[in-house]
């Protein structure tokens, strides 16, 4: 069994000390409190400052817990709450586009879970897909989220991705190229990349801090979702983007 890493133990002690303190602390104070050489304490604090876990008070030069650290342990969006916020807007999107609507969150680095599903409003028999797991790289919902997930680029660079149809993008670099387009225009699409006979358009949902927490999108037959050139219809994309914004607004209001 490997031993513990001393510098991480010391960094944890510094963070605990700052968390307990009612005011910012100086390097000497921290060194004394933890019986550390001043140089060691300074090195730990500078490192924690670089990664954003410690902030420095501008006026006094003393240190306090970083706002990023606070956010790290903060409230994570509950997926059932996301569904509850998305419900009215997803219904409206389905009725305005005539397509089925899904909301998904990223579960694993490249895997989505469907958290909400509104049937295509044609009263045909459809199966509830809430709880289903979907590969993120092969669908619009996944691309809308991956485009705004910082760790994605490194993960995709060398990756070979699984193919689900002949149109699935399996080359990581090619997918990264698509994701930069997604960021530019604000929505993602796939045309028969996950399943033949299905095309979809999706846009990212953000929480009150602007972090992407999921995506909402429509799925339908390629001929209804796309124009003659197999390009997603701009009118539908605009509706999807509008819906993502409305859900983002709802999430923000609930947190106020």
Partner 1 sequence: MRPEYVAAIDQGTTSTRCIVFDHAGRLVSVAQREHRQHFPRPGWVEHDAMEIWRNVERVVPQAIAQARVQPAQIAALGIANQRETVVLWERRTGRPVGNAITWQDTRTANLVDQLAADGGVDRFRERCGLPLMTYFSGPTLRWMLQQDPIVREKAERGELLFGTMETWLIWNLTGGPDGGLHITDVTNASRTMLMDITHLRWDEELLDAFGVPAAMLPQIRSNVEVYGTTTAALPGISIAAALGDQQAALFGQTCFSAGEAKCTYGTGAFLLLNTGPTPVRSSHGLLSTVGYQVGEDEPTYALEGSIAVTGSLVQWVRDRLGLIESAPEIETLARTVDDNGGCYSVPAFSGLFAPHWRSEARGLIIGLTSYITKGHLARAILEATAWQTREVVDAMNADSGLALTGLKVDGGMTSDHLLMQTIADVLDVPVERPLVSETVSLGAAYAAGLAVGFWPELKGLRHHWHRAARWMPEMSARRREREYGNWQRAVSRTYDWIQIEDEDGPEV
Interface residues with partner 1 (CB under 8 A)?
Answer: 75, 78-81, 83-84, 87-88, 91-92, 94-96, 117-119, 121-123, 126, 128, 130-131, 254
The nearer residue to partner 1, 117 or 137, going by C-beta atoms, is 117
> What's the rounded Cα separation, in Å, for the pair 46 and 54?
8
Least Å distance, CB 133 to partner 1, is 15
Gap between the Cα atoms of 92 and 90, Å rounded: 5
Return the number of the residue (49 or 96) whose C-beta is nearest partner 1. Answer: 96
Let me know: does 104 contact 115? Beta carbons within 8 Å.
yes
> Smallest distance from the beta carbon of 188 to partner 1, in angstroms?
24
Core vs surface per residue 40-63: b (16+ CB within 10 A) or e: ebeebbeebeeeebbbeeeeeebb
Closer to partner 1 by Cβ: residue 121 or 186: 121
Comparing CB distances to partner 1, the nearer of 131 and 228 is: 131
Smallest separation (angstroms) from partner 1 to the CB of 189:
23
CB 141 within 8 A of CB 134: yes
User: Minimum distance between the CB of residue 235 and partner 1, rounded to whole angstroms?
Assistant: 16
CA distance 100 to 97: 8
Residue 168 or 243: the one with the smaller Cβ distance to partner 1 is: 243
Sign of CA dihedral 65, 66, 72, 76: positive
C-alpha distances in Å from residue 13, one per residue of 16, 41, 44: 5, 11, 10
d(Cα 211, Cα 145) in Å, to the nearest integer?
10
Min dist. Cβ of residue 118 to partner 1 (A):
5
């Amino acid at each position: 069994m490997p031993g513990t890493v001393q510098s991480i133990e010391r960094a944890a002690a510094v963070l605990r000390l700052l968390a307990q303190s009612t005011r910012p602390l100086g390097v000497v104070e921290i060194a004394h409190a933890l019986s550390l050489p001043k140089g060691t304490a300074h090195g730990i604090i500078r490192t924690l400052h670089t990664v954003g876990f410690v902030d420095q008070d501008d006026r006094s030069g003393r240190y306090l817990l970083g706002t990023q650290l606070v956010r790290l342990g903060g409230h994570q969006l509950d997926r059932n709450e996301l569904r509850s916020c998305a419900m009215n807007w997803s219904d409206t999107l389905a009725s305005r586009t005539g397509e089925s609507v899904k909301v998904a969150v990223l579960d694993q680095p490249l895997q989505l879970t469907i958290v909400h599903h509104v049937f295509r409003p044609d009263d045909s028999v459809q199966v509830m897909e809430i709880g289903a797991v979907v590969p993120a790289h092969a669908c619009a919902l996944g691309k809308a989220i991956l485009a705004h997930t910082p760790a994605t680029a490194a993960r995709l660079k060398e990756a070979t991705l699984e193919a689900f149809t002949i149109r699935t993008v399996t080359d990581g670099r090619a997918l990264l190229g698509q994701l930069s387009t997604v960021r530019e225009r604000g929505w993602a699409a796939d045309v028969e990349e996950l399943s033949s006979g299905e095309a979809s358009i999706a846009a990212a949902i953000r929480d009150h801090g602007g972090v992407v927490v999921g995506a909402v999108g429509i799925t339908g037959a390629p001929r209804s979702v796309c124009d003659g050139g197999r390009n997603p219809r701009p009118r539908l994309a605009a509706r999807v983007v509008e819906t993502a914004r409305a859900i983002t607004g709802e999430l923000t209001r609930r947190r106020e």
